């Protein structure tokens, strides 16, 4: 399954099927879903079988994780772009926030002299025109 594919229930759902699916997705447990629907856990199990929800429900956590991962990459990229913002206040705030998140902010703000070696992957060096460490060592 690709990142853009979303597993869907295998058949069109009637009102009962939709209500059951909503209860299963919005509850913390099957007991809670059954209670929300006003049915027994066994009746809920039978509905799951009737509507073949098992593969769909099994895929939901993985789909949610993939969506969060894609969102976090976009958020990080957006945040990094703020470093180059024309507004120096925005640029400085983004720089401080990034340094804080990687654990370097307090070291720098306390004026401690620290040798920090940062390894930047080649693809990022090329994307952002960052000189390689051998280039800076020779200067």
Inside any domain, residue 18: no
Inside any domain, residue 83: yes
* Residue 54: pLDDT band with limits 50, 70, 90: confident
> What's this model's pTM, rounded to 2 decimal places?
0.44
The residue range of the domain holding 86 is 77-139
Inside any domain, residue 127: yes
| Residue appearing with tokens 């703000």 | 109
Number of domains comprising the chain: 1
In 10 A of CB 36, how many CB atoms? 16
Query: If you average pLDDT over residues 9-29, what whole number do you get?
Result: 83
Structural contact between residues 49 and 25, judged by C-beta atoms closer than 8 angstroms: no
In 10 A of CB 21, how many CB atoms? 19
Inside any domain, residue 59: no
Inside any domain, residue 97: yes
Inside any domain, residue 133: yes
Cα–chain center distance at 4: 15
Inside any domain, residue 64: no
Query: If you average pLDDT over residues 94-106, what whole number do you get?
Result: 75
Please provide the average confidence, as pLDDT, over all residues in the chain.
Answer: 75
């Amino acid at each position: 399954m690709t990142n853009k594919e979303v597993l869907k229930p295998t058949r069109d759902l009637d009102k009962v099927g939709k209500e059951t699916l909503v209860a299963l997705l919005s509850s913390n447990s099957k007991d809670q879903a059954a209670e929300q629907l006003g049915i027994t856990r066994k009746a809920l199990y039978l509905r799951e079988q009737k509507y073949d929800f098992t593969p769909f429900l099994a895929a939901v956590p993985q789909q949610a994780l993939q969506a969060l991962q894609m969102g976090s990459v976009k958020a990080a990229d957006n945040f990094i772009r703020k470093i180059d913002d024309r507004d120096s206040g925005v640029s400085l705030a983004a720089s401080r926030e990034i340094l804080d998140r990687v654990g370097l902010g307090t070291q720098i703000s306390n004026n401690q002299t620290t040798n920090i070696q940062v390894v930047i992957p080649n693809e990022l060096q090329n994307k952002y025109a960052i000189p390689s460490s051998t280039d800076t060592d020779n200067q």
